[in-house]
């Protein structure tokens, strides 16, 4: 059993190529090999190396901004201003969060997990709006941020500061 395919058309093409190749002078063969290597290297660079380097540069450029935003959210979570609580701070959390979302002009998915904690999920929402809303909710409703996950939206032209975010809130 041979591992080589037995295709008559392929064998005929291979035979024609071999005949033409052997008919070429050694200088022409050498130039064709050099040209093929140059094209192969250009394809390797264009398809593999250059995109990887560009992605690395983008990550290095965006990382300080994302770290600053994460530190800002961590600061809000660690030091919630409790002195400005209003009457909304009492009662069920979900309706108060829904009202705060509507007041802030934001859309989010709300769910309650097994521990009875409210999970708020934002999709492709500008980060500054989320940060402002979160600061107001912490101050006005007296909630505690138990968890936060923020990822930038990539691959869309003009995404400019949009993130996918998930916050776990408890009163």
Question: In tens digits, what is the pLDDT along the chain, a chain of 171 residues?
Answer: 455 667 888 888 999 999 999 999 999 999 999 999 999 999 999 999 999 899 889 888 888 888 888 888 888 777 755 544 444 445 678 888 898 899 888 999 998 877 778 899 999 888 888 988 998 888 888 888 888 888 888 765 455 678 889 999 887
* Whether the predicted model's global pTM rises above the 0.95 cut: no
Structural contact between residues 118 and 169, judged by C-beta atoms closer than 8 angstroms? yes
Residues 6+ apart with CB under 8 A from 126: 160, 161, 162, 163
Structural contact between residues 166 and 119, judged by C-beta atoms closer than 8 angstroms? yes
């Amino acid at each position: 059993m041979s591992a080589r395919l037995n295709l008559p058309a392929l064998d005929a093409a291979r035979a024609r190529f071999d005949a033409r190749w052997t008919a070429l002078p050694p200088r022409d063969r050498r130039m064709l090999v050099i040209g093929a290597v140059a094209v192969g290297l250009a394809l390797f660079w264009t398809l593999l190396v250059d995109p990887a380097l560009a992605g690395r540069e983008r990550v290095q450029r965006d990382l300080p901004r994302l770290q600053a935003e994460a530190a800002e959210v961590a600061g809000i979570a660690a030091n919630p201003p409790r002195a400005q609580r209003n009457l909304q701070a009492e009662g069920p959390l979900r309706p108060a969060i829904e009202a705060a979302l509507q007041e802030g002009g934001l859309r989010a998915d709300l769910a309650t997990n097994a521990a009875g904690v409210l999970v708020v999920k934002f999709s492709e929402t500008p980060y500054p709006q989320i940060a402002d809303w979160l600061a107001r909710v912490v101050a006005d409703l007296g909630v505690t941020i138990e968890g936060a996950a923020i990822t930038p939206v990539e691959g869309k032209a003009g995404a400019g500061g949009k993130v996918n975010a998930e916050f776990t809130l408890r009163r």
